[in-house]
Chains A and B, each alone.
Chain A
Amino acid sequence: MELSDLEMAHLKRLARLELSREETAALQKDLSDILGYFDQLRGLDTGGVEELVRPITTVDVFREDVIRLSLPHEKAMSLAVEAQEGFFRVPRTVEEA
């Protein structure tokens, strides 16, 4: 299964990845190989096999509804690339009305 250039461009866009021509070509080949592997799996008769979403069998992990201390504000903001007035500052996301 060969990943097309168009699909590759779409994936790069979805993942917000900026890749050089060489990197793109290498990744395109790797992803195509992986898809080829899945094609191989698709050829198997899995009619009687139950769907396995996760490789672990754990179920029902819950926490009780208890409020715990949040991070101190300075600590949360210490990760910010840009901050202002206690907010995270990001490139503008809407146009001026």
Chain B
Amino acid sequence: MFEAVIGLEIHLALRTGSKMFCGCAAESLGLLPNVNTCPVCLGLPGSLPVVNREAIEKALRFSLALNCQVPEVTQFHRKHYYYPDAPKNYQISQFDRPVGEHGFVELEAGRRIGVTRCHVEEDAGRSVHPPYAPYSLVDLNRAGAPLIEMVTEPDLRTPEEAREFLVKIRAIAQALDVSDASPEAGKMRADVNVSIRLPGEALGTKVEVKNLNSFKSVQNALAFEIKRQTDLLESGRSVLQETRGWNEGGQRTYSMRSKEETADYRYFPDPDLPPMRVAEKWLETVRAATPELPDAKRERYRELGLRAFDAGLIAFDVELATFFDRAVRVYEGEAQLLANWLNGDVAGHLNANDLALSRSKLSPENLASLLTLVDEGAISGKTAKDVLPLVIDGGDPKTIVEERGLKQITDLGAIEALVDAVIAANPAVVERVKENPKVINVLLGQVMKESRGKAKPDAVRELLNEKLG
């Protein structure tokens, strides 16, 4: 039985205001083409790039979080190649002294995945290829935007592990405010290397798959590629070392058949960019500014009494975690209850309306207050679910309950009057209860209906049992 050997190369767009080496805005989503450029990112002769300190600082923060060793001096190299989206005919990248090396990330099962390196580089522009036209169009808004490239050791063994790794990297990048890390928005891109071998034997021929823009496609492309390579070897053929693309519609990889010669990038230290000393003092500032990491968050949530599943779900989603932390601060009930609501009804309602938590008007305080109303017995759980959409739309739970008269009837006298009235009005049902005690539910339903759902079901059942039992 073959085993897969998988390595990942991940690009993350750094979250900064300006580009890597010039003052143009780093974000150009939704802008007209070529409105975010200047002599530096257009690569005009005589322009001088200057390093964005924030980008280096965030890259250091990320490297430390991935347990990387950070060199005393880091520097930029020029990587030469010709492509219209690289206006200088070289990309400023890092070569021998990246911001981080020899790190690792631990998977759920405790296995460590080696991080070979993390380096900073500038992004390329964007090419558009209109169908059947003899030309391509180039937009340089993105050219020079800051990126982190991280490369793993070939330590991953299954498509599922690769996905778990990506989810973890995304969570870390988001928690550290290093990157939006959203594949959908093009802020996180992954290439994979995959080969198969018999366990214990030497590495097989590796295939690179490019253009994977969701975690799901990474997982599917890997599964497809492992099957394809297994079929080849089992039928006595061999795997060709090549770069393949991923066809999302057909859910298959395809040969890119590029006439690519062996890359000869002619790296050399960029003479425009002096080396940067990463003094211990700077690292201390970086460490001090590093927020809680997802693993530590999950541990803290477990200690609050959350089930492992909910703790992980919340800890690995920075938006959810921020919300949860604020809600837990004001909510006096069980933290698990809060998690149930967040991951259950709230998530369901938001998904159904295609709304992000941060874009909704739901505040942690209002969710806590809604749950508190249930805990105090002021409203039933059912009523809470009914009014949740209003609370998500920004309504204050107390006001809603007050204004709509949804408060539970807790006055036993009032409930008893209702129970008596229902018994008196349904003599036939009362007869049947004597033969089949379950029929009491019919009466219960009737009382609830009469109270417009506001009677406490427990109290009603108790009274009915008392009177008919």
Partner of A65, one of B35, B54, B134, B264: B54
> B154 to nearest A CB, angstroms?
29
Q: Are A65 and B269 also in contact (CB < 8 A) when A86-B32, A92-B135, A96-B132 are?
A: no
Expressed in whole angstroms, the Cα–Cα distance for A58 and B273 within the complex equals 9
Instruction: Give the contacts of A52-97 with B (CB-CB under 8 A).
Output: 53-54, 56, 58-71, 73, 76-77, 79, 82, 84-94, 96
What's the nearest-Cβ distance from chain B to residue A4, in Å? 16
Binds A, one of B44-52, B217-225, B327-335: B44-52
In the complex, A21 has a CB within 8 A of chain B = no
**Cross-chain contact A61 with B274 (CB below 8 angstroms):** yes
**Residue of B38, B83, B274 contacting most chain A CB atoms (<10 Å):** B274
Q: Is the CB of A92 within 8 A of B129?
A: yes
Of the residues A73, A89, A92, contact of B35 by C-beta under 8 Å: A73
**Any chain A CB within 8 A of the CB of B139?**
yes
Question: Which of these, B25, B137, B264, contacts A85 with CB under 8 Å?
Answer: B137
B43-70: which residues lie under 8 A (CB-CB) from chain A?
A: 44, 50-56
Residue on B with the closest CB to A55? Answer: B271
Decide if A65 touches B16 in the complex (CB within 8 Å).
Answer: yes
CB of A42 within 8 Å of the partner chain: no
**A90–B138 CB distance below 8 A:** yes
A19 CB-CB contact with B under 8 Å: no
Task: Say yes or no: A76-B139 contact (C-beta < 8 A), given A62-B50, A68-B18.
Answer: no
The interface residues of chain A, by DSSP majority, are classed as: loop
Do A79 and B137 touch (CB < 8 A)?
no
For window 16-69 of A, CB contacts with B under 8 Å fall at: 16, 53-54, 56, 58-69
Number of chain A residues close to chain B: CB under 8 A: 37
* A14 interfacial by beta-carbon distance below 8 Å: yes
Tell me which residues from 125 to 149 in chain B have a Cβ below 8 Å from any Cβ of chain A: 127-129, 131-140
* Min distance, Cβ B422 to any Cβ of chain A, angstroms: 69
Contact (Cβ within 8 A) B276 A86: no
Partner of A76, one of B37, B50, B134: B37
A66 is contacted by which of B23, B38, B39, B131 (Cβ under 8 Å)? B23
Chain B count of residues within 8 A CB distance of the other chain: 52
B131 partner residues in chain A, CB cutoff 8 A: 96
Docked-complex contact A16 and B82, CB < 8 angstroms: yes
Q: Are A94 and B18 in contact, CB atoms less than 8 angstroms apart?
A: no
- Helix, strand, loop or mixed for chain B's interface? loop
With A53-B75, A67-B24, A89-B135 as contacts: A61 and B34 at CB distance below 8 Å: no
**Would A67 and B23 count as touching, CB distance under 8 A?**
yes
Interface centre among B127, B135, B271 (most CB of A within 10 A): B135
Give the contacting residue for B128; candidates A61, A65, A87; CB below 8 A: A87
Whether A84 pairs with B137 at a CB distance below 8 angstroms is yes
CA distance A71 to B51 in the complex (A): 19
In the bound complex, residues from chain B placing their C-beta under 8 Å from that of A70 are 23-25, 35-38
One digit per residue, 1 when the CB lies within 8 angstroms of any chain A CB and 0 when it does not, for chain B 26-42 equals: 00000011111111001
Q: Which residue of A lies closest to B83 (CB)?
A: A93
Q: Is the CB of A93 within 8 A of B80?
A: no
A65 in contact with B18 (CB, 8 Å):
yes
Q: Which residues of B contact A (CB under 8 A)?
A: 16-18, 22-25, 32-39, 42, 44, 50-56, 73, 75, 80, 82-84, 127-129, 131-140, 264, 266, 269, 271, 273-277
CB pairs A–B below 8 angstroms (25 shown): A10-B264, A53-B75, A61-B273, A63-B51, A63-B52, A65-B17, A66-B17, A67-B17, A70-B23, A70-B35, A70-B37, A73-B35, A76-B34, A84-B135, A86-B33, A87-B33, A87-B138, A88-B34, A88-B137, A88-B138, A88-B140, A92-B136, A93-B84, A93-B127, A94-B136
**5 further contact pairs, Cβ within 8 A, besides A70-B36, A77-B34:** A60-B276, A65-B55, A71-B38, A73-B32, A92-B136
Chain A: residues with CB nearer than 8 A to chain B?
10, 14, 16, 53-54, 56, 58-71, 73, 76-77, 79, 82, 84-94, 96
